[in-house]
Chain A
Amino acid sequence: MHCGKYIKSQTVKLCIVVLHIDGIRSPLASRCYSHAKVETDEEFDARWVTYFSKPDIDAWELKKGMNTLIGYDLVPEAKILDSALRACRRLNDLASAIRILEAVKDKSGPHKDIYPYLIQELQPTLIELGISTPEDLGMDKL
């Protein structure tokens, strides 16, 4: 489709539209996938670690963060949980720290090996901050 050089802007837009229509007539099929960048696992983890690492994080932000994180279809990495537990420490909230551990265990669902692995990874932090696991406190039984 030929467009002359000295055409006003609106007509040029129309030309562009028409050219695009020409383009669809090409034999190659094009899928309508989104062109948004997919966040990698590392970026996701880093984002959440940063969220919980905020030095003056408040109780609401901790709650919101944890509830959102648990809402995702994944078990958070040890480094995110470490960051969250340290946030609990800054907020002087031991109960929430224990609750986070319980939530993560529940999140693993049928995969019983995830939770022991996470506890193993978090052991230094747990010892440092003095957080007892629900198992230590006998709260994993009815």
Chain B
Amino acid sequence: MFYSATLILVQSASSITCFLRLFTCTSLVSLGLNSHPPPPCLYPSPSLTRLSWSTLRTTMLHLTTGRVGCLLSKQAVVALTSSGARMSSHGHHEVSDSVDMSQPMYWDRLDTPLPDRPWKDVLDSTDKSLKQKEKGPWTALSKEEKIALYRLKFNHTYPEMKRPSHEWKTVIGGMFIFFGITGLVVFWQGHYVYPPQPHTFGEEWQAKQIQRMLDMRINPIEGFSAQWDYKNKQWK
């Protein structure tokens, strides 16, 4: 019984943790927060990782829309249409969430300090005038202007890229919740599903069984009967 319980727990935990990660990411998307992209690999293929991440988010969103109620999906749709970090910087009007992979892309990666294109492509007049000022001596720029120039070109600073997320708490918490649910399921199972125990498990039968094993001298040297003190009729 313990074996089956552990098996069910492990199986459910692993499959459910995977689902929970999807669910967490989706819920984070729906709350308008940007989850972390996958960690950078040694030989980066940034466009591919970006593609897989955005497709994953889209598919996760579809999962959410299907499975969770209207409220969450509405939030998700709103978040996606308004949060368009890509959208705000692109000049053209994109209705869909797909990224044009044939254009140079922007990405925040620790191992790629200078991405293919700047963060903000479309500059308004203040930005343009700042860019003009950048052509002159940089000593003439104020701190705010320098920060503004950085923010035009880049989205996150390195500390912002490296900020810790609180995702692990959701994952662990969700894991324990599912352990609990599984525990309830297992308990219910034990009560309602399992057939009655075989009669050989009863106290009386077990006692008789042990006596018979001792009479037969089962494993008399190192094992079972070796533990029994035949003279004093008790366990050693």
Contact = CB atoms under 8 A, between A and B. Distances in A.
Interface of A: 62-63, 66-67, 70-71, 89, 92-96, 98-100, 102-103, 105-106, 129-132, 134, 136-142
B81 interface: no
Given A67-B112, A130-B140, A132-B143, 8 more contacts: A67-B114, A70-B111, A70-B112, A93-B153, A94-B134, A100-B113, A106-B110, A130-B138
Interface string B98-129: 00000000000011111110100000000000
Q: Which 3 A-B pairs have the closest CB atoms?
A: A130-B138, A130-B139, A95-B153
A130 B141 contact: yes
Given A132-B143, A134-B157, A142-B160, A94 B152 contact: no
Contacts of B8: none
Majority-rule SS of A interface residues: helix
B118 to A, nearest CB: 8
Interface residues of B, number: 29
B158 A106 contact: yes
Contacts of B110: 103, 106
Nearest to A131: B138
A100 to B, nearest CB: 6
B158 A95 contact: no
Interface of B: 110-116, 118, 134-135, 137-141, 143, 146-147, 149-150, 152-154, 157-160, 162-163
A92 B150 CA distance: 12
Nearest to A98: B150
A66 B114 contact: yes
A140 B146 contact: no
Contacts of B146: 94, 98, 132, 137
A66 B163 CA distance: 23
A85 B57 CA distance: 38
A92 B146 CA distance: 12
A138 B143 CA distance: 9
A141 B160 CA distance: 8
Contacts of B114: 62-63, 66-67, 96, 99-100
Max chain B C-beta neighbours (<10 A), residue from A67, A95, A105: A95
B148 to A, nearest CB: 9
Contacts of B118: 95
29 contacts: A63-B116, A66-B113, A67-B112, A67-B114, A70-B112, A70-B113, A94-B134, A94-B149, A95-B150, A96-B153, A98-B150, A99-B113, A99-B150, A102-B113, A102-B157, A105-B158, A130-B138, A130-B140, A130-B141, A131-B138, A132-B146, A134-B158, A136-B143, A137-B143, A137-B150, A139-B157, A139-B159, A140-B157, A142-B163
Contacts of A92: 134-135
A129 B115 CA distance: 23
B154 A99 contact: yes
A102 B156 CA distance: 11
B149 to A, nearest CB: 5
A63 B111 CA distance: 12
Contacts of B149: 94-95
Contacts of A138: 147
